[in-house]
Amino acid sequence: MDEKEPTHEEQPSTGQPWEQRKISTSKAARLRPVYISISILLLLCNYFLAQYDKFILSYFQDSVSESLNLSASAYGVISGYATGIVYALAALPVAYLADSFKSARVWVLTICSLWWSLCVIFQSLAHNFWQMFLARIAMGLGQACVEPLSVSLISDLTDGWRNVFVGESIFFVGVYIGEAISGQIATAFTDREEGWRVALRAIGITGIVVAVVLRLFLRDSTRNSGLIVDDKIYEERTAFGDSLQTARSQLRITVSYLIRMRSFWLLVLSASCRQLAGNVFGYYMPTYLSNTFPAKEEMLSRYGIIVGVVGTVAVLTGGAATSLLWERTKLTPLWITAIGGMISSVFVMLMLFSRQTANGDQTEGVHILYGVMSVAYLSAELWLGCMYGLIASLLPPRHKTFGLSIWSAIQVLIYSSGPQIIGLALRKSEPGSTSYTNDTRVLLAVLIVGGYWLAGLGFLSAIPLLRHDVEHGVDIAKKLSSRRKRMLTLFVVVLCSLVVALFVASIVYAVV
């Protein structure tokens, strides 16, 4: 029997005739892609602003160091663990809070964005190491969950996992826009000692405006099912008890899930090595190249343009490739990250020795630099959007923000060691001197190339583990083996020891 179309009289509770409701539903369906696009662009802008202080420090390293009378060790502190430790520790409770309350993600993101924006303004007012140090620590509290919250929201905004990778890739374009814009700003303020202060104030004020717009426009959305597990895991194990007890049970389930997931820990260690290489690249490469090619005043501007354009093309290509191949294989992000980084390492070496390759000629050397840098970024930067989209798909939907914050926190604690290591190694060198530039080149070659290869080997080794997780799922009721407990304990002890040792040593040398 055919379904009878309801009449207006049969639908008294809607307050609208049936035809009007059909038109309204159709209009909403047509407008949803527009809403999704604007939401992702707003999250992109917010993320770009949250990353912008890193670019300011990298492009204005000499100016900041001179204005605040910073040594190489002190610069390593404010660009490394000054925000890294706070970022990692604050991310977990903030993300847990965002996951524990309905529709809380947008509110938490807004409050965090307002806070870090104010702290960026405070950085522009700093006049010594300790003022900058404290301002950056406070900023880390606000920036802690910008990335995991945004990735979590985008994974639910988009319709279907194939679209997630494109959405996440568009979001991470913010990294490369930041590089491009920072290059232009650095060029515009080359002759102004206090240019970095103006740039930080502008970004802080803009961040406040974007945070308000985010709160007014963006709405939280229903959680998509995960690739391995859906929310039934929580419904079955937290069916009884008060809300606080339920939240604690969900937290235990999420942690238990991550501990028992075969591929997660190798994936996060590999991503940490890759991020360490990128973090060192971002903080030290612009200043190194400026010192290597002092006669090329336009070099930073063109450097930024290349990073912005090529990086954007690369990250979007990685997301599109993963989306197109998603039905055939779930392993595309691992392959393109591993192989792309290994290929890129060759061209990074050519970047570092571009002037030597040109026999000291700056004009020819800078032309070599632009070419090899384009290839380096094109091969290395395919990974961000597709990798974060993959991790979001592997986590339990109910607490994916918390899972992503664990993923990000571990990486931050590891990759923040890069600037600390370089700062300690260069503590006896005078910034801007020939020995400082030469020593920086060696350190960049070791840390960037080594990070790319360690990450590549790690991702390739994780392929069979990820395939097993997807095919067989994660049994959270399974008892942990003694071997796995020992490995996790060793990992925690080594990571904490590394962080404490580097941080204490850097603080000691920074204030001496």
Does a structural domain hold residue 7? no
Cβ–Cβ < 8 Å for 139, 121 = no
pLDDT tens for each residue of 378-418: 999 999 999 999 999 999 888 899 999 999 999 989 998 99
H helices present in 381-481, as ranges: 384-394, 400-415, 417-425, 434-472
Return all residues near 33 (Cβ < 8 A) that are at least 6 apart. Answer: none
Residue owning tokens 């796995």: 484
Joined tokens for residue 204: 């802080």
Joined tokens for residue 61: 């390293």
Least confident of 10-14, 60-64, 131-135, 345-349: 10-14
Does a structural domain hold residue 19? no
Does a structural domain hold residue 22? no
Task: Give a three-class secondary structure readout of 368-408.
Answer: HHHHHHHHHHHHHCCCHHHHHHHHHHHCCHHHHHHHHHHHH
Does a structural domain hold residue 209? yes
Length of the chain: 512
pLDDT tens for each residue of 117-162: 999 999 999 999 999 999 998 898 888 889 999 999 999 998 777 8
**Residue from 409, 400, 397, 398 nearest 92 by CA:** 409
The listed range with the strongest mean pLDDT (174-188, 232-246, 458-472) is: 458-472
Does a structural domain hold residue 156? yes
- Per-residue pLDDT, averaged over 235-242, amounts to 51
Cβ–Cβ < 8 Å for 61, 282 = no
Task: Give a three-class secondary structure readout of 151-177.
Answer: HHHHHHHCCCHHHHHHHHHHHHHHHHH
Number of domains in the chain: 1
CB atoms inside a 10 Å sphere around CB 349: 16
Does a structural domain hold residue 127? yes
Q: How confident is the model at residue 13 (pLDDT cuts 50, 70, 90)?
A: very low
Q: Which domain holds residue 260?
A: 35-511
CATH number of the domain residue 397 falls in: 1.20.1250.20
Does a structural domain hold residue 483? yes
DSSP string, 56-93: HHHHTHHHHHHHHT--HHHHHHHHTHHHHHHHHHHHHH
Does a structural domain hold residue 252? yes
Cβ–Cβ < 8 Å for 324, 438 = no
Residue owning tokens 């202080």: 53
